[in-house]
Amino acid sequence: MEQGSQSLRSLLRADIDRQRALFNAPLATSKIKLILGMLSPRFAPVLLYRLSYSMNRRGFKILARFFSLLNYTVFGIEIAVICKIGPGLFFPHTQGTVIGAVSIGANAVIYQGVTLGAKDLDFTYDESRRPVVGDNVVIGAGAKVLGGLTLGDNVTVAANSVLLMSVPADVVVAGMPAKIVKQRTIES
């Protein structure tokens, strides 16, 4: 079971490591603690998404939709089964989140109430009408990222922003419609 070039197991391991790093949590010392950690409302949606994506890629479309529906029903997060998401995915909260992007890079942090998708109805999942999100992106609560745009690496989208244009790497965007409000400098 692979997601892109990484196995399901290595992706889940990276997701667990990212969660531990964000919470300064030690590695689970027993299988029971590890399982309980995987059932947390911050990690279980990631696990269900990974299973959904993996099942879809392997041709088990009904099982993929089941995991996706379970994620939506229990955690209030809707993630397209064909959206490729890199390792280190983190959801501080999930309710009301809709992810219909083409892809999301590594180490994304996506807060509640976020929408990543097309500007208008798109039942065919046309990739040219959906966002591509880079690595190390943070998308604040209630933000909307709509259309066939690209977010560069290390972008922060402020809470409640509505982003309708592509943005380069290392910026902070805010507003309605969102505009670049800060350019980050690369420290050597």
Per-residue pLDDT of the chain (188 residues; tens, 9 = 90+): 345 568 888 898 888 888 777 766 555 555 666 666 667 788 899 999 999 999 999 999 999 999 999 999 999 999 999 999 999 999 999 999 999 999 999 999 999 999 999 998 878 888 999 999 999 999 999 999 999 999 999 999 999 999 999 999 999 999 999 999 999 887 65
Q: DSSP code of 29?
A: S
Sequence-distant (≥ 6) Cβ neighbours of residue 167 within 8 angstroms: 149, 150, 151, 152, 155, 173, 180
Do β-strands 97-99 and 115-117 pair in parallel, antiparallel, or remain unpaired?
parallel
CA 39 vs CA 2, 42, 114, 156: distances in Å: 22, 8, 22, 28
Name residue 77's beta-bridge partners: 97
pTM of the model: 0.86
Domain boundaries, the chain: 1-76, 96-183
What distance in Å separates the CA atoms of residue 116 and residue 167, rounded to the nearest whole number? 15
What distance in Å separates the CA atoms of residue 133 and residue 42, rounded to the nearest whole number? 21
Please count the CA atoms within 13 angstroms of the CA of 102 that sit on its side-chain side: 15
Query: Quick one: which of 106, 102, 103, 114 has its CA closest to 77?
Result: 114
Helix (H) or strand (E) holding 36: helix 31-38
CB atoms within 10 A of CB 101: 25
Query: Quick one: which of 122, 129, 132 has its CA closest to 83?
Result: 132
With 0-12 CB in 10 A as exposed, 13-18 as middle and 19+ as buried, what is 173?
buried
Tokens, residue 146: 């709509």
CATH 3.30.70.1290 applies to domain 96-183: no
Average pLDDT across the chain, whole number = 89
- Find out whether 88 and 104 touch, Cβ atoms under 8 Å: no
